[in-house]
Structure 1
């Protein structure tokens, strides 16, 4: 097995967070346990295929826990592991920064689309 070398902590963090929707999944799961449909609505315009893929990756990485209650109709819930909660706490300042600069970021995004 190869020992992965990262140039900095940000690079290591991005190895877990790579994927457009993973940070939003973490954000929503940090606030409460979600069933799949709730999580999909909370995250937004993500396709089922991509959300399922990114949830599986987060599960494999030990960030997200999937609990299948073995019921019919199926009831599955997603939550954060301790490792996932620590990552969500690390993202909290980035969320705060985004909230403080929402208007400026909105202008930047609109200018990109021109």
Structure 2
């Protein structure tokens, strides 16, 4: 697990070190719906590359936010789901979605493009 004591000593920095970035919150938001296969996540987030998805999933697994289950099948099936710790991020992720919706509306109204 990566070091959590950040430079500033701020808990927000710790949160961002675990779930920050462009893709982790989006992946986590989709996993709020329940267990998903890698291919399902890829279809849900088509703009992320397979390599980046793999990297982000590994980091989230290492942080204890998601679990990865490999099923002994041919072809192999891999499922991802939130751990209880990951599920505790739901209010944060929902708040981010709501803020983003509000901000998008606000910006498009202010610029006259809405």
Coarse TM-score class (shorter-chain normalised): 0.7 to 0.9
Match of 1:74 among 73, 76, 79: 76
Q: Which residue of 1 aligns with 2:89?
A: 87
Q: SS of 2:32's equivalent?
A: helix
* Runs of at least 4 residues off by over 6 Å: none
RMSD: 2.2
- Indicate the structure with greater helix content: 1
How many residues were matched structurally?
108
Q: Which residue of 1 aligns with 2:53?
A: 51
Q: TM-score, normalised by structure 1?
A: 0.82
* Structure 2 portions without partners, runs of 5+: none
* Structure 1 portions without partners, runs of 5+: none
Provide the rounded CA distance (Å) in 1 between the counterparts of 2:75 and 2:45.
23
The change in CA–CA distance for 1:59 and 1:31 in structure 2 (over 3 A counts) is same
Q: Which residue of 2 aligns with 1:24?
A: 26
Deviates more, 1:55-64 or 1:2-11: 2-11
The CA deviation at 1:44 is: 2.5
Provide the rounded CA distance (Å) in 1 between the counterparts of 2:30 and 2:96.
14
CA contact (8 A) 2:5 2:14 kept: no
Q: Which residue of 2 aligns with 1:4?
A: 5
CA contact (8 A) 1:63 1:81 kept: yes
Q: SS of 1:77's equivalent?
A: strand
The CA deviation at 1:102 is: 2.7
Q: TM-score, normalised by structure 2?
A: 0.82
